[in-house]
Amino acid sequence: MSYSKPKFKEKYGNFINGKFVEPVSGKYFDNHSPVDNSLIAKYPRSEEEDVNNAVDAANKAKDSWGKTPVAQRATLLNKVADIIEKNAEEFALIETCDNGKPIRETLNADIPLAVDHWRYFASVIRAEEGSVSELDSNTVSINIKEPIGVVAQIIPWNFPLLMLSWKLPPALAAGNCVVLKPAEQTPSSATLLMEKIADVFPPGVINIIHGFGPEAGKPLASHSKVNKVAFTGETTTGQLIMQYASKNLNPVTMELGGKSPNIFFSSVMATDDAFLDKAVEGAVLFAFNQGEVCTCPSRLLVQENIYDAFMSKVIARTKAAIQGDPYKIETMVGAQASKDQYEKILSYIDIGKKEGAKVLAGGGAAKVDVAFENGFYIQPTIFEGNNKMRVFQEEIFGPVVCATKFKDEKEAIEIANDTLYGLGAGVWSRDAHQLYQVPRAIKAGRVWVNCYHAYPAHAPFGGYKKSGFGRETHLMMLNHYRQNKNMLISYDKNKLGFF
């Protein structure tokens, strides 16, 4: 089964105060598809004035939206989920065209997961309760959650609709109004969503601004009428956003990079069964989404007594991955999201070779069909080396994994934690003790145990160390978007006696 490039209008607007509007300056930028580098459409090159308009619209809407009954907010979130689900194929195609990822991923992962996140927050907001404590027989403390106000959200290009769906539903469920800036590389699915849900929410509740980081992102992140900033991206921009937030004394949440270890203990090869097959796939998941995932299992740690046998299976499975036309349902590895991303990955493959890492699979650009030769394709690449090499330490954000061996549990944990980051990790074993002790010893916010790359809405996700702070998905996310109102009530008729 095969699809083809979807149709687009010539240009699109920002979505502010319930309508699509042109950018104030009248300037647009061209957005290209990484599949074949063809033009998709023009999107607004927004500037400070556009951001001000969006923030003003959100501020105007926040009081009444914040007082909307939770049942109504939940109903609207569910409505969005239904709309995305009904148009799943259209969203999947747009996402593949804009990002380069294969259609089998957008149809089976991005879009269904996005739908589920909207439904999850529609559910939990209704099941939640505040708290009441009797501090003494005359004193009662009541905690009520109140929305924080206007939230700025800046999202990345690797899972455009899914990252939007991680960020918008909890903020809206908690009663906030939002100004969201999609990445300029992938503005399309956010725009399509707003076309389809334009009338679902009152004007000003959701506002979408397109444009470049220095021109639109910075005025949004530093805006004095924004009450909270949520960011997914890299460390330098994260630091800048925290600086701006410090001027406004705003809370922030940061989801930054990773260099996740995926650890395979010898027991995985104790029998040749379905679990071994699953484990081999788990190692090859470094190529999922072309490696453009902050939790990409980009360091492969294999116990030395199974290293050769296990690696030969991983290499064979990697080489069998079908790469090319992202619109074909059989394709497993598509295009990198942009030219600069493509160049950056090739540059890392180059330094890996110069540092003496051995290429076990791939190792360069991929040859694809002539129709896609202007697109950005890189072979899934396996390096073998040691953890001090730069390819083991830096987030490449491409389909590149670096393999090394370890002697025992102690060494596995040492290598796993020898990194600046702490976002994700994988632990694979048939030993029940290892399955508990090793994940507890790894300094990362999410440890997948005998699985990898699962992102259910019901499990919290976020980083340790330089991977950021705050959690996404899960109901604990709601508190990142709320203030706690404590009402401290005295039922005592008598005065204190001080005055």
Partner 1 sequence: METKVARVAITEKASEVVEQLKSKYGSLIFHQSGGCCDGSSPMIFQDGEMYLDNSDVLLGELCGVKYYMNRDQFEYWKHTHLTIDTTEGRGSSFSLEIPLGIRFIIHSRLLTEEENKILNQ
Going by C-alpha positions, the residue among 237, 216, 205, 98 that lies closest to residue 161 is 98
Query: Two tokens at 158?
Result: 């690797």
Q: Specify the length of the chain in residues.
A: 499
Interaction residues for partner 1, span 278-297 (CB under 8 A): 292, 294
**Do residues 482 and 145 make contact, with C-beta atoms less than 8 angstroms apart?**
yes
Query: Which listed range, 277-285, 306-314, 320-328, 386-394, lies at the site for partner 1 (CB under 8 A)?
Result: 386-394
397 contributes a contact to partner 1 by CB under 8 A = yes
Site membership for partner 1, residue 359 (CB under 8 A): no
Q: Is 355 in the site for partner 1 (CB under 8 A)?
A: yes
How far is the CA of 364 from the CAs of 42, 193, 368, in angstroms? 32, 36, 12
Q: Which sign, positive or negative, has the C-alpha torsion 86, 91, 96, 99?
A: negative
Rule CB under 8 A: say whether 420 interacts with partner 1: yes
At 15, which helix (H) or strand (E)? strand 14-16
User: Cβ of residue 47: shortest distance to partner 1, in angstroms?
Assistant: 10
Is 156 near partner 1 (CB under 8 A)?
yes
Alpha carbons 2 and 484: distance in angstroms, whole number: 51
Structure tokens at 486: 């404590």
Contacting residues for 228 by C-beta, under 8 A, at least 6 apart? 148, 149, 150, 151, 152, 176, 250, 251, 252, 480, 481
Among 203, 213, 385, 460, binds partner 1 (CB under 8 A): 213
Neighbour count for residue 139 (Cβ, 10 Å)? 13
The catalytic residues are 255, 294
Can you tell me whether residue 394 is helix, strand or coil?
Answer: coil
Q: Residue 375: which residues within 8 A CB-CB, separation 6 or more?
A: 33, 34, 35, 36, 37, 100, 335, 368
Stretch that binds partner 1, among 1-9, 91-99, 141-149, 333-341 (CB under 8 A): 333-341
Kindly state whether residue 233 participates in binding partner 1, applying the rule CB under 8 A.
yes
Among 176, 318, 341, 404, binds partner 1 (CB under 8 A): 341
Enclosing H/E stretch for 445: none
Tokens 């109504």 found at: 72
- The answer to whether residues 231 and 83 touch, using CB atoms and an 8 Å cutoff, is no
466 is an interface residue for partner 1 by CB under 8 A: yes
CB of 406 to partner 1, least distance (A): 19
Tell me the CA end-to-end span of the chain in Å, nearest whole number.
83
Stretch that binds partner 1, among 76-84, 103-111, 229-237, 487-495 (CB under 8 A): 229-237
Q: Does 450 bind partner 1 (CB under 8 A)?
A: no
Q: Given candidates 240, 359, 441, 449, which one binds partner 1 under the rule CB under 8 A?
A: 240
Question: Which CB sits closer to partner 1, 139 or 246?
Answer: 246
Is the CB of residue 335 less than 8 Å from the CB of residue 376?
yes
CB 463 to partner 1: min, Å: 10
Of the candidates 304, 406, 318, the one whose C-alpha atom is nearest the C-alpha of residue 363 is: 318
Size of the site for partner 1 (CB under 8 A): 51
Stretch that binds partner 1, among 2-10, 81-89, 196-204, 232-240 (CB under 8 A): 232-240
Nearer to partner 1, 63 or 340 (CB): 340
Could you say which of 74, 183, 412, 415 contacts partner 1 (CB under 8 A)? 183
Nearer to partner 1, 255 or 409 (CB): 255
Q: What is the spatial distance between Cα 438 and Cα 27, in angstroms, rounded to a whole number?
A: 53
Name which of 383, 425, 403 is nearest 296 in CA terms. Answer: 425
Contact track, partner 1, 158-177, x by CB under 8 A: x-------------------
Q: Shortest approach of partner 1 to residue 421 CB, angstroms?
A: 6
In order of 36, 39, 167, 370, 436, the CA distances from 98 in angstroms are 10, 10, 20, 19, 40
Stretch that binds partner 1, among 12-20, 134-142, 213-221, 316-324 (CB under 8 A): 213-221
Instruction: Establish if 348 lies at the interface with partner 1 (CB under 8 A).
Output: yes
Asked if 258 interacts with partner 1 (CB under 8 A), we say yes
Q: Does the footprint of partner 1 cover residue 354 (CB under 8 A)?
A: yes
What are the residues facing 142 on neighbouring strands?
A: 132, 487
Question: Is residue 390 a contact residue for partner 1 (CB under 8 A)?
Answer: yes
Q: Quick one: which segment of 98-106, 210-218, 267-275, 362-370 binds partner 1 (CB under 8 A)? A: 210-218
393 forms part of the interface with partner 1 (CB under 8 A):
yes
Interacting stretch for partner 1, rule CB under 8 A, among 102-110, 169-177, 335-343, 438-446? Answer: 335-343
Residues whose CB falls within 8 Å of the CB of residue 20, separated by 6 or more in sequence, listed in order: 12, 13, 14, 194, 195, 198
Answer yes or no whether residue 157 interacts with partner 1 by CB under 8 A: yes
Among 75, 339, 431, 443, binds partner 1 (CB under 8 A): 339
Of positions 191, 289, 338, 404, contacts partner 1 by CB under 8 A: 338
* Beta-carbon contacts of residue 340 (< 8 Å; ≥ 6 apart): none
Binding site for partner 1 (CB under 8 A): 45, 154, 156-158, 183-185, 212-215, 217-218, 232-237, 239-240, 243, 256-259, 292, 294, 338-341, 343-344, 347-348, 350-351, 354-355, 388, 390, 393-397, 420-421, 466
